[in-house]
């Protein structure tokens, strides 16, 4: 049994010392269905990788001989690059598939693509797809481990995990914190994964945004809902802003960008309603002057946006590490 350090801080896990990781899943398709112990296992292992990534010796050959394929059907900078870096720092061979230059562009179905990749005996497939549920469908057709890099407006599990690690490292805990998720909740896979994770870890979750950008199932999510941002931010510990996802909108959900920023954009005035030590987060890419003011986003004391990017590499290293261990345990060599 691992005991917490004084002050409630956990000692960082390292891959060498964690003998029995409590994560037995074949895939990482979402946060929903993961328990607190499994989430903590990932975060603890990732903590060790943060230290490794800050050292001069960043590369470990734990995944030597393994092949990781990044298959992204949507544009990505942070997620795809951090998965590539995570795999390479663990010694894996990493291949980035450009779907625009693949058989997908010629009309090949997702299932046929999955079967083709499966025949090549890769070990981990990281998939981003515009359709909710597509990654789960693909995972049922392959023998390798599959990580959901974001599917439609459904889930983005590694984003929620890196957000949790960022919060835990700054605040020392997740349980008991009040976290406000603000903006376009309706179209946000980041919001859904974070709601599942924060609820599982004992945080209090508030959703803040216009009625037109709240999902119909919001009353079943175990959250508080606010349509007045100032009231919603009262006494919160963490402010998590969301991007307006114009690419997923088929109609007019907001009157104008100017009006949206006036009511729901994070600026100094609205932030003053949160706790004095409240921190600011954003999954990126940011739309400055739409959902967040530059003065707030660049606040060196309170903004954790750059830390989120750093934590992303460590969390994805932990996920690759754990899932390839499980491949070995299942006899997939």
* C-beta neighbour count of 179 within 10 angstroms: 26
173 known member of a binding site: no
Distance CA 204, CA 194 (A): 11
Radius of gyration of the chain (CA): 20
Q: How confident is the model at residue 100 (pLDDT cuts 50, 70, 90)?
A: low
80 is known to lie in a ligand binding site: no
The 10s digit of each residue's pLDDT in 3-45 is 343 334 444 444 444 445 578 999 999 999 899 999 999 999 9
Structure tokens at 129: 């797809």
Q: What average pLDDT is seen over the chain?
A: 90
Taking each helix axis from N to C end, the angle separating 78-89 and 305-329, rounded to the nearest 10 degrees, works out to 50
Distances (CA, A) of 33 to 25, 27, 40, 193: 10, 12, 14, 11
Please tell me the pTM assigned to this model: 0.91
Is 270 annotated to bind a ligand? Reply is no
Structure tokens given for 267:
């600026």
Q: Is 285 annotated as a binding residue?
A: yes
Which range is least confidently modeled, 4-8, 14-18, 222-226, 228-232?
A: 4-8
> Is 156 among the annotated ligand-binding positions?
yes
> Is 330 known as a binding-site position?
no
Q: Are 309 and 165 in contact (CB under 8 A)?
A: no
Q: What percent of the chain has pLDDT over 90?
A: 77
* DSSP 8-state symbol, 320: H
243 labeled binding residue: yes
At residue 10, the pLDDT reads 47
| Domains, the chain, with CATH or none | 27-153+310-325 (3.40.50.1370), 157-304 (3.40.50.1370)
Q: What is the pLDDT of residues 71-84, one digit of tens each?
A: 999 888 899 999 99
**pLDDT for residue 331:** 57
Whether the predicted pLDDT of 167 surpasses 70: yes
| 206 carries a ligand binding annotation | no
Q: What is the pLDDT of residues 119-136, one digit of tens each?
A: 999 999 999 999 999 999
* Alpha helix (H) residue ranges in 207-265: 229-232, 257-264
Taking residues 239-264, report their average pLDDT.
81
């Amino acid at each position: 049994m691992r005991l917490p350090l004084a002050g409630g801080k956990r000692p960082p896990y390292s891959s060498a010392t964690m003998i029995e990781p409590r994560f037995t899943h074949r895939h990482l398709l979402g946060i929903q269905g993961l328990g607190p112990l499994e989430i903590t296992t990932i975060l603890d292992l990732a903590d060790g990788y943060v230290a490794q990534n800050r050292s001069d010796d960043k590369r470990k050959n734990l995944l030597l001989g393994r092949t990781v394929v990044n298959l992204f059907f949507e544009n990505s900078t942070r997620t795809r690059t951090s998965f590539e870096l995570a795999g390479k720092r663990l010694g894996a061979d990493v291949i980035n598939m450009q779907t625009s230059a693949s058989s997908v562009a010629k009309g090949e179905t997702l299932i046929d693509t999955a079967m083709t990749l499966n025949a090549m005996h890769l070990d981990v497939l990281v998939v981003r797809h515009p359709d909710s549920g597509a990654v789960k469908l693909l995972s049922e057709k392959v023998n390798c481990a599959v990580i959901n890099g974001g599917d439609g407006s459904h889930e983005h599990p590694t984003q929620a995990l890196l957000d949790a690690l960022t919060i835990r490292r700054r605040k020392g805990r997740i349980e008991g914190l009040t976290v406000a998720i603000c903006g376009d909740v309706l179209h946000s896979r980041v919001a859904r994964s974070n709601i599942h994770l924060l609820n599982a870890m004992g945080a209090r979750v508030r959703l803040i945004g216009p009625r037109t950008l709240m999902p119909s199932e919001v009353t079943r999510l175990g959250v508080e809902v606010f349509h007045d941002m100032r009231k919603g931010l009262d006494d919160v510990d963490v402010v998590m802003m969301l991007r307006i996802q114009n690419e997923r909108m088929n109609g007019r959900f907001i009157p104008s960008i100017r009006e949206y920023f006036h009511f729901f954009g994070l600026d100094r005035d609205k932030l003053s309603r949160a706790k004095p030590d409240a921190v600011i987060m954003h999954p990126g890419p940011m739309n400055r002057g739409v959902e967040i003011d530059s003065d707030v986003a660049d606040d060196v004391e309170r903004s954790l946006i750059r830390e989120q990017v750093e934590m992303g590499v460590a969390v994805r290293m932990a996920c690759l590490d754990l899932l390839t261990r499980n491949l070995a345990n299942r006899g997939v060599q």
